[in-house]
Each structure stands twice: as structure tokens, then as C-alpha cells.
Structure 1
Amino acid sequence: MTNIEARALVRACRLIENVKVAPKLSIVVPAFNEAARLGGSLKQIVRYLSERREQTELIVVDDGSTDNTAVVAEEALRDAGAVATRVIRYEENRGKGYAVRLGLLAAQANIALFSDADLSTPITETPKLVDPIRSNECDLTFGSRALDRRLIGVHQPWRREQGGRVFNLIVRVATGLPFWDTQCGFKAFRLNCCRPLIEAAQIDRFGFDVELIYLAYLAKLRLREVAVRWDHNAGGPLDASGNYSRDSLRMINEVRRIRAAAAAGEYSEAISVARTATMVEAKHGLTARSSV
């Protein structure tokens, strides 16, 4: 663990002490240079969570932003009411995958959902992913733009959308995954099953989605791809780079790394632990009985 990781976790743990009742749901929002739109997104999430009749928490992970992302987050969460909130920040930009993992591992609920900061998938779609986990049907659910394209209101630029389709086809061939969209920034996890996989994950950038889903698939967790509403919001990290071909090649190389690590047995222990946990959940339905 680096000093940056250690400091972030220490700060998170100090704030955890102030949470008297374990939340039923944690929302994790990774953010990099999102000062311009993050405030509005967080207020929407707080409004949504405030309407739920249960204890919830909202965690923002500032991935080494060079703008005022952390300041905007803290200001937006100042009046969050009953929603427990935390802002985790570190100085070096490590990548979206790193930020998501850190947020998930800091979550206090057994069910955690991560959402992109731009809310391309509206936060009101949360029940589509969370309810199957609560009813003990699934351990990991993830939004999909491919299952029902009628739910896409605003499409991505043509080159990026076609590149995404090609990338997902490559993922299917390379990993054997039977899913059509691994990259939508809207995923939910049963953490007592998924935590070992999150801890073992190695990909810090945009290939992290493939890694987590692939590990869950190898562990025989109960997975579900769910059609969700989606509207492209320009201005995210991939838009900022403007080089879709380069970004796609990086992600393909990350898929190669994932396959090589799996073949070398680097994930084996985590997969075994996660498989045991999901077998227990499937047999006893612990979450279904304990949820509100």
C-alpha cells in the first residue's frame, strides 16, 4: 500500500467512526476534474437518497483532480441531511478503476453502487440494479446500453459508439463473457461476495470494469446485465482525451493483462473466497432476510 492509499484510508476510517448505524446502501461516485458538473449531480443523488426510507451513504472519490472537484463535492454535500457523506481525496491521478475500488472498499453497506459523476444513467435507475441483489437473485448487476437501445436518449459520438461495440466484441471473444456492455458506468455489488475480487483487482484505468466482471464470472457469482436509461454527457475523461483509438488500444492491452494474470493464477485465492461467499448467500438468503 502506498502512502497515498494509506492516508486516504485513514481519513475514510476516521469518518466511518461517525456513522452510528450501518447504511443499507452505499453510492460511490469517482470524479476526476469534474468541478463544473459534480455539484449538480451530487445534489440529485442526495435528493434521491433522502427520499428512501433507510440509512444510506454517499462517497465521492476525487481521483487526484487538478481543479476544485473536492471543494465542490464538500460544498454540495454540506446539507445532505440524514445521508451519510464522505469525500476521499488523494493527490496523484491513479485512474477511474483505482478510485472506484477505493470507494467500494470504504463503503459501509453490504450493497454498493457506483455511478459515473455525469449521471449519464439517472440515479433513479438504481432499483433496477439494487433490487435483484436485495432479493438474493444476484451478487453483481450492471447497467447496459446494448440490451435496449431505445433507452438511449442522447448517443455518444459515432466513432466512440462504434469503438465501444468493437471493444465489447473483443471482450466477449477474449474472455468468454456472455455480456454485451461491460463499460456502462453504473454497477452494483454485494460486497461480502465481491470484496475479495475488488481487493485482488489490478487494473486502475478504464479496463477495470472488464476485470471485475470477469473475476465475478470466474467465481461463478450471480451476474445480471440490466438495460438502463442513458444519455451521453460530453466532457468526461474519454471526451477530454479526444483520442478514442489510443484509449481503445489501452483498454485492449488491459484485457490482455487480465487474461495473463488469470492464467498465472494471480486471482485464484480471491476467486475461491468469493465463490464460497456467493454459495452461502444463495443457500441462506442472508441479505434478503436482513434488508428493509
Structure 2
Amino acid sequence: MTDTTLISIIIPAYNEELRIPPYLRRLSSYCASAGAGLRFEIIVVDDGSSDNTAGIAAACPGVRVIRLEKNTGKGYAVSRGLLEAAGEVRLFLDADGSVAPEEIGRNLHYIFEDGYHIFAGSRVLKGRGCRLKAKWYRRVMGWMFNLVLHSALPLKVRDTQCGFKMFRAAAVGPLFGNGCLCGYAFDIEILLKAQYAGYRIKEGPVSWEHIGGSKVDLLADSLLLLADIFRLRKKYARRQLRAGA
């Protein structure tokens, strides 16, 4: 880590004009008080919102906005932001503020000092000072989803869907530059690609709190996720067959 290390924070957002303002204020406050040696850029990728998400984000000091003309999906929005960022470490956080900004500083050492290429936040793993605030049915659905996911794919990361992941800049191009799923299953594909490519991945506990106002339809989006899981199973099974040929 150099004396002037730049950390890029990517926030994908779709119709988040109500939830994103307080989170951007929290992020800006955290970045201003993070200490010497760290600089931050905050990039909001507005995924074709029909509300004033882009305008509200652009009005926040120090926030850069990338405006996508149409709603393409979280995966594309995250990819676009990470690829256009300039930081030595690039991370993404969900716009709802479910993960506190302080988790950034708590986990940077995995990248800078411990030699990992990727840090994946986890709501499953237990850690000192980490807490999970979620309703019981979300916990049950999460458990069922993970059971299906890890039965279908050989992933080492237990919680693929936590909306907090950090990457060394050198890993971003190879993982995101050739395209990936645009929807919510993009996390799964990126972690699979990273695992097969031999990147060092650290999964660590983070505090997470469910924030109301989500536009995710638990049932419908879970079914779409399941369909993507089996598409990925076929895709990476073919890749393994070609590699072994």
C-alpha cells in the first residue's frame, strides 16, 4: 500500500432516490475520517432508473455518477463501475446501506497485507462484533438457496450474494472485462471465474442489516437465480471438459 492509495467504491443503483441519500452521506463521512494514506472515489452507477437517483447522487459532493440509458441489471452496472474506476482496490456495496462503510477499513488488510486478490463479505460466517439483522424467512430462504447452489456448483465461498466484495485492481479486468451475467447471479459467476483462475479469495464475516424498501421479489428473483445457477453449471461443466480434452 502506497502513501496515497486510492480506494474505489462502486454503488449500483436502480430507483434508489429514497434509500441512497443517507448511505452516501454515511460513506462520505467515513471516507473523510478514514485516516492518512487513503483516498477514496465514490462511483454511483445508475442502472437506467426512472426516478431521480442519478440527480440526487450527482448532487452529493465527491460522488461521480455513471448513467446507463436502460436498466440492464446489477451485474452489468457493477462491471461498468469497476472497469471505469481507478483505485488500487475496487469494491462494490449495495445502495441500501445494508453493510456499514466501516466494514471497508476492517477488511482492507486482507488485500494489502495478507495477499488476497478478492475479499467476499459473508453474512453466514460468525465474527467478533459482527451481527446479522434479517427476518426469519429471509434466513430460511438464504439457507435453502445456499444448499441448492453448493449442490450444483463447486464454490468455496459460502455466501455468494452478500453485496460487499473487494478486488485488487489487477483482477478486475480478467474477471469483468469479458462479460458476465447481468442479473443477480453475476456474483456467482465472478467467484467461479476467480476460483478457476486461481485467484486467492478470502471470505470474512461482516455486519449486515436488512433495509426496507427493496425492489427484490424474493420468490420471482429466487427462481431467476436458480435458473442462472443451472445455466452456469452447464457452462462451466463444458469448460472443464474442454480443459481436460
What secondary structure sits across from 1:233 in the alignment? coil
Aligned pairs (5 A) from 1:1-292: 24-52=6-34, 53=36, 54-77=38-61, 80=62, 85-148=63-126, 151-155=130-134, 157-238=135-216, 241=217, 244-265=218-239
Give the Å deviation of 1:253: 1.0
Q: Structure 2: which amino acid aligns with 1:259?
A: R
Equivalent residue pairs, number: 236
Q: Structure 1: which amino acid aligns with 2:49?
A: S
Q: Deviations over 1:60-87 (max 9, x none)?
A: 000111111001101123xx3xxxx310
Determine which structure has the larger helix proportion and give its number.
1
What secondary structure sits across from 1:245 in the alignment? helix
In the alignment, the residues of structure 2 paired with residue 147 and residue 45 of structure 1 have an alpha-carbon distance, to the nearest angstrom, of 24
Segments of 5+ residues of structure 1 without an aligned counterpart are 1-21, 270-292
In the alignment, the residues of structure 2 paired with residue 167 and residue 200 of structure 1 have an alpha-carbon distance, to the nearest angstrom, of 27
Cα distance change on mapping 1:146 and 1:171 into 2, 3 Å: same
Q: Structure 2: which amino acid aligns with 1:100?
A: V
What is the aligned partner in structure 2 of residue 18 from structure 1? none
Q: Conserved in 1, the CA contact under 8 Å of 2:8 and 2:90?
A: yes
Greater alpha carbon shift after TM alignment, 257-266 vs 107-116 = 257-266
In the alignment, the residues of structure 1 paired with residue 88 and residue 238 of structure 2 have an alpha-carbon distance, to the nearest angstrom, of 30
Q: Deviations over 1:247-267 (max 9, x none)?
A: 11110111122222223449x
TM-score (norm 1): 0.75
**Could you say which structure has the greater relative contact order, defined with CA pairs below 8 angstroms and 6 or more residues apart?**
2
Give the Å deviation of 1:184: 0.5
In the alignment, the residues of structure 2 paired with residue 171 and residue 98 of structure 1 have an alpha-carbon distance, to the nearest angstrom, of 22
Segments of 5+ residues of structure 2 without an aligned counterpart are none
In the alignment, the residues of structure 1 paired with residue 8 and residue 73 of structure 2 have an alpha-carbon distance, to the nearest angstrom, of 21
Give the Å deviation of 1:198: 1.1
TM-score (norm 2): 0.89
In the alignment, the residues of structure 2 paired with residue 58 and residue 231 of structure 1 have an alpha-carbon distance, to the nearest angstrom, of 21
Cα distance change on mapping 1:23 and 1:99 into 2, 3 Å: farther
Q: Structure 2: which amino acid aligns with 1:141?
A: F
In the alignment, the residues of structure 1 paired with residue 179 and residue 121 of structure 2 have an alpha-carbon distance, to the nearest angstrom, of 20
